[in-house]
Amino acid sequence: MDFFEAQARAKKHTSRLVVLFTLAIVCTVAASYVGTVFALRQTNDYHPRRTSHNSYQVHSEAGPLPSWWQPRLLLGVSMAVLAVIGLASIYKWSEFSAGGSAVAESVCGRRVDPHTIDTHERRLLNVVEEMAIASGVPVPAVYILDEEPGINAFAAGLTTSDAVVAVTRGTLEKLSRDELQGVVGHEFSHILNGDMRLNLRLTALVFGILFLGLAGRGILWSLRYQSFGGSRDRDGKNSGGIVVAIAFVGLVLLVVGYVGYFFGRLIQAAVSRQREYLADASAVQFTRNPGGLTGALKKIGGFALGSSMQSNKSAAIGHFFFAQGFRSSFGGLWATHPPLDERIRAIDPQFDGQMFEPPEVVDVAHESFVTAGLAPARPAAVPPILPSAPSPSSEIRSSTAAAAVAAVGLLTPEQIENSQLLLDSTPARLRRATQTPAEAQVLLYALLLDDDPSIRARQRDFVAGRAGGDALHLLHEFEPSLSALRPEHRLPLLQLALPALRQLPPSALGPFLDTLDELIHADGRVTAFEFALQKLLIRTLALGRSPASATTRYFSFNAVIPEIALVLSVVAHASDNGEAAAAATFAAGAAQLKLIESQLTFLDKSAYDLAKFDAALDKLAGASLPIRQRTVVAAAHVVGADGQILVPEAELLRAIAATLDVPMPPLILAA
């Protein structure tokens, strides 16, 4: 499944969603206007008349009834309804602007401790890490819904940098590793295909429409002890009539709000059902194991609790979940997911309709890693994908630009297998260091230590002065593992460390980034890896802390021609094959941008510096998806123009792709 096509489809669905919700809002405005006119017509016959005793009596006057068509009233009602819906939607959107973690915690999710010794939680973390490394996205935070015994899961977030994966306790306890991988693959499809942001928009819009009904219900609830009789206050006014009027307003709001909510939920459910079919197909494509996903669906169908959610807090995000979390009303019209048997038959046409109940929880304390599901079972004959020894000039097996771009946004069995082998061959001490903020910081310091002994000594002294003796001790502890580290392990280690680094408070984040910058510039130059590490880290942490800042500002190629030319020039110089070779590879990339090819000028190294390159990438990050897509394609053709992709070039290409929010998996090294 093409990543860019999936993203474009998600944007198209968003545009269609806006149109449909506009129609729902129009219906809500119309109902509000009719209710207002009806109320005015009902109260028009009653006017107070002063008597000779200086008091008031209510007399009926058969005056003319208000017209049903009142443009000024319609305008006023429309503005009021739109203001209420808009403010309520903005409020709900602001609640989720903190990212996926805010969504998970709103439904009582508990973040999984990376040091957990619970075998089920450890298995889940391993599966999520494998898929994140394979797809090239930052490792999502993982949450458990401890109070939910049903089998269900969801992914949430605004970008890949703030995404989370949450599963219920029942999912952990009832599914095998293959089935869990199928469910997680389904959720990664939502992450890669742009569904998460669409889901949050759905939630905010539906809440905005529902707010009118909630306001009406609140008014009626506040009047539950009020008298609706004709009593008067000390000024002689009919207080009972005022109560009746307020109650009528509350009733109108309740009816109008829930009419709009009804249609909003219909739209929400229809959009969600189609996305679930797509996510199922993607999960099967990712894992090439349809039995894993269908096994999970069959267990939901056979389990007494199914996929039902116990907490009402989850109702607002029911369309996020892997399976139907709540009973659907109106004959299934509000169902956010297709029926289980239809989903299974879409994957396995031979399905006989038989569901089965999940087995009871078993004791896995004394099982092997494979039988406990902590590691996947692999045939013994599978040859190693990774090279047996590190080499700074290692060549990427996928040497064509087409292969590099085709891997964007995809999860394939080969990529998952490669990520599993890559993680298995990563030194255990370094993997443990990625699990805590303190050690993760020192690990990144260690990755930046220079090969030159004198520069390395200065860097170590600088770390000791900035981070203290404990950090220096950790550098010594990491030394044996670092000597065995291969080049292809470095960026995946950063991916693994990101969940821990996101927990750094702002007071600690600044000094940490400053220390990294000093280490990078200690030798007076910046390598492709150093730039990639710094750019990936800063970009991911920034989006993770403020995901709503990812906005589109440039929609024309003409607005970013100088930036594209600079990026392609930097990539062309990365191979160090000389000026003539760099110009030739630049031309190969520029040829992928036919609309502006003649306007792209190749720059020599003296025409730019690191700051200009960094600024160019930041500006391109605000460009529309087609611009970012073609820029990544062009950069990949620059890298692959000479028939090979070296590790430094691959790292630079991944940094560019990640900055432009295009997930690119690790490219497989040739043995």
Distance CA 393, CA 652 (A): 14
Sign of CA dihedral 471, 472, 475, 480: negative
Residue 126 binned pLDDT confidence (cut-offs 50, 70, 90): very high
Percent composition of the chain: helix, strand, coil (DSSP 3-state, to 5)? 60, 5, 35
Residue for token pair 């992450």: 191
Distance CA 668, CA 671 (A): 9
Q: Where are the domains of the chain?
A: 3-47+60-100+199-264, 113-193+276-347, 425-527
Average pLDDT over residues 126-146: 90
Distance CA 85, CA 186 (A): 33
Q: What is the pTM of this model?
A: 0.74
Distance CA 628, CA 616 (A): 12
Long-range CB pairs of 146-149 (<8 Å, 24+ gap) are 146/108, 146/110, 147/108, 147/310, 147/311, 148/309, 148/310, 148/311, 148/314, 149/305, 149/310
Residue 526 binned pLDDT confidence (cut-offs 50, 70, 90): confident
Residue for token pair 């693994």: 496
Distance CA 534, CA 511 (A): 14
Lowest mean pLDDT across 111-115, 173-177, 618-622, 645-649: 645-649
Domain 113-193+276-347 has CATH 2.170.150.70: no
- Residues 545 and 141: beta-carbon distance below 8 Å: no
Sheet holding 153-156: strands in order across? 110-111, 141-145, 164-168, 153-156
Q: Which of 163-177, 204-218, 269-283, 645-659 has the highest mean pLDDT?
A: 163-177
pLDDT digits (tens, 9 = 90+) for 235-286: 545 555 566 666 777 777 777 777 777 777 777 777 777 778 778 877 877 7
Closest CA to 569 of 624, 520, 616: 616
Residue 521 corresponds to which tokens in the numbers above? 């510039």
pLDDT at 559: 94
pLDDT digits (tens, 9 = 90+) for 17-55: 667 777 778 878 887 888 778 777 766 554 445 555 555
pLDDT digits (tens, 9 = 90+) for 438-492: 999 999 999 999 989 999 999 999 999 998 889 999 999 998 998 888 887 888 8
The catalytically annotated residue of 129, 187, 530, 651 is 187
- Which residues are 555's β-sheet partners? none
Distance CA 90, CA 203 (A): 11
Distance CA 103, CA 318 (A): 12
Number of neighbouring beta carbons within 10 Å of residue 49: 9
- Characterize the bridge pairing of strands 164-168 and 141-145: parallel
Distance CA 33, CA 14 (A): 28
Distance CA 181, CA 417 (A): 13
Q: Mark residue 136 as left, alpha or beta (left: phi above 0; alpha: psi -120 to 50; beta: remaining).
A: left
Q: Indicate the average pLDDT of the chain.
A: 79
DSSP states along 600-625: -----GGG--HHHHHHHHHHHHTB-H
Is 187 among the catalytic positions?
yes
pLDDT at 376: 55
pLDDT at 66: 74
Distance CA 519, CA 259 (A): 61
Distance CA 114, CA 282 (A): 28
Q: What is the DSSP letter of 51?
A: -
pLDDT(514) > 90: yes
How far from the centroid of its chain's Cα atoms is residue 516's Cα?
27
